[in-house]
Structure formats: structure tokens, C-alpha cells
Amino acid sequence: MGKRGVVADYAGDELYRGDLVAYAARQGNRVRMADAIVDRVTTRLVDGRLRAMLCIRPTGTESGFAKRRSLRKEWISAEHVRLIMPDVTGERDQ
């Protein structure tokens, strides 16, 4: 029987629900760095490869001078995500 793997950022730090992460977000033709809280961690089969995916809630803290229009949840790949602070919401204890 196989062992369940752990989803990690590009530095190898494990990602869980409630973690604060930084990721690259597109705005038009530019890319900005944004902070978000991980809402869900899962994997999906994309083009025959298993990819780690995160459902995130942006916090509103980001680079750039144009404000984000909404703070809706987004699905992103965990390839270019970096853990900033683990368990900022306290959801891991529950």
C-alpha cells in the first residue's frame, strides 16, 4: 500500500491549511508578489502528471501600485509558492 505524500513549497517546507504563503500573481501583463492563506491542499492529474494544487485566500498584501479588485479564493499550483509562516489561523490544532 502506498504512503500519502506531503505537498511542499519549492524549498521543501510542508504546506498545510492555514499557512501563510507568498506566490506570484498576474495582473494584466505584469506579475506581482502576493500573500495568501492556504484554504485547501490537494493534487490533480494535469496532462498525465500529478500536480500539487492549493486553494488560497489572498490577504491583500502584495507588491505593485494597482489594488486587487477582489479577495476571492483562487486555485494555484504549488510549484512557485513559498511558505512565510506556518499555521497563522490556528486551524491545524483542530
Q: Return the biggest CA–CA distance within the chain.
A: 51
What does the pLDDT look like over 77-89, one tens digit per residue? 998 899 999 988 8
Distance (Å, whole) CA 66 – CA 28 = 11
- Judge if pTM exceeds 0.85: no
Q: Which residue has the cell 498525465?
A: 48
How would you classify the pairing of strands 81-85 and 74-77?
unpaired
Averaged pLDDT, 14-33: 89
* pLDDT attached to residue 2: 46
Mean pLDDT across the chain, nearest whole number? 86
